[in-house]
A = this chain, B = another copy of it.
Amino acid sequence: MNNVIIGQSGGPTAAINASVAGAYVRAKELGAQKVFGMLHGIEGLVNGNIIDLDIYLSDPTNVELLKRTPASVLGTCRYKLSDASKDDTDYKKIFDVLEKNNIDKLFYVGGNDSMDTIMQLSDYAKDHGKPQCFIGIPKTIDNDLPVTDHCPGFGSAAKYIATSVKELIRDNQAADTRNPATVIVEIMGRNAGWLAASAALSKADDCTGPDAIYLPEKPFDMDAFMKHMKELSDKKKPILIAISEGIKLADGTYVCELGGDVATDAFGHKQMSAACKVLADKLSSELGLRTRTVELSTLQRAASHMASLTDVREAYQCGFEAVNAANAGETGKMIIMKRMMYQLGGNENNWSSECPYMCSYGTYDIHSIANYEKMVPDEWITSDGCGLTEQFEKYARPLIFGEVTPIMAGGLPRHLVIKEAL
């Protein structure tokens, strides 16, 4: 095997580095002489900023540390390659770096935008008779990539969100009974509500779960919301609701926009401000409720101290499988996960994914993945629009199972730092 390179892109997750670990380990097993890392993703590659990962990862302890390190250890970027037919400057630079370093396999860990990069690069290689293979490794806390059962990164974020929401519910329910508070927890997710939905996982016999959960998949009906909150508050009990940052009215206006200006990022995504503040102000001024807002913010994508073992293992395996796929000559593909289904009681119409939960791995054409988004299915949202059905729980619960014991030093989780990426 010639040399390979791996990079990371987009928003970090608690499991994104496990994919680098998996790809590194497998490439070495398959005889790659060098495994390079792009510093700050494709933007670094364009500029020739790459490092030999042996410096850090030849020590197996560091591989373990890497699996427990949040945020992209190699640095990330939000860099969109231009259309090669209009401007191929970046492409020429990239293939120049690959050829000079004898790299014939490129792996990119990321979400929708990063898969666009893999698509552009593999298409360019095909169009220009280049031999390199390009494989995408799924990663996004948003869980919105199509085809794959779920995305590495989601399980850890979901575990952190469900844990934090459970603790916030305890905190709120323990409070002064005379003046119960209404807590609004704002959770990431522009268009897909998977993360906010995860708040539902806090429900168990030791936790009531949130009183309502609002996802961007359903138009947000302000009148129905206020009516529901009035009914809840009439019970004079502490209330906690979870909302997705991306909830929007039927006319497409984001709830957060009702509170003021928003900006737009390099990919044309609207930057959200706090929808929870808009709702809290309304509940306070119109219903006289005592409100508190909690934005889980970037904490939810960085909390490797509460990572899901299932998630970290799967992220590792996705990196591992990406190398296998490229080694078999595949290109222009993303690694996907498929949940195993078990036939029950010899009945060919009765299948379950629950005993035990397990995923197999495969590849899928990047053209059917890049720039598509997977939403929470309509039938997994309760008919009142503010809850999740048992089907969601069956889907999501196995993804938060197990803990990754942090390696502690000085009372804090230890992280691997790649100094060149700082």
Contact = CB atoms under 8 A, between A and B. Distances in A.
B304 A167 contact: yes
A204 B162 CA distance: 30
A410 interface: yes
A302 B297 CA distance: 17
B397 A403 contact: no
A168 B415 contact: no
Contact of A412 (B172, B204, B412): B204
Nearest to A296: B299
A195 interface: no
A98 interface: no
A65 B137 CA distance: 39
A190 interface: no
A78 interface: yes
Given A167-B70, A174-B421, A204 B410 contact: yes
Q: How many copies are assembled? A: 2
A167 B303 contact: yes
A401 interface: yes
A412 B413 CA distance: 19
Nearest to A401: B411
A417 B206 contact: yes
A299 B171 CA distance: 9
Given A162-B411, A176-B40, A305-B163, A298 B71 contact: no
A402 interface: yes
A120 interface: no
A249 B318 CA distance: 52
A64 interface: no
A14 B236 CA distance: 26
A406 to B, nearest CB: 8
A414 B163 CA distance: 10
B400 A411 contact: yes
Nearest to A301: B171
B299 A168 contact: yes
B167 A302 contact: yes
Given A70-B171, A204-B410, A400-B412, 15 more contacts: A12-B174, A40-B176, A69-B170, A75-B177, A76-B176, A77-B178, A166-B412, A166-B415, A167-B299, A201-B411, A201-B412, A207-B415, A293-B297, A305-B306, A403-B406
25 contacts: A43-B177, A43-B178, A71-B171, A75-B173, A77-B176, A79-B176, A159-B411, A162-B411, A164-B303, A166-B412, A166-B415, A167-B302, A167-B303, A168-B298, A171-B301, A172-B298, A204-B409, A207-B415, A292-B297, A294-B295, A294-B299, A295-B295, A306-B306, A397-B411, A403-B406
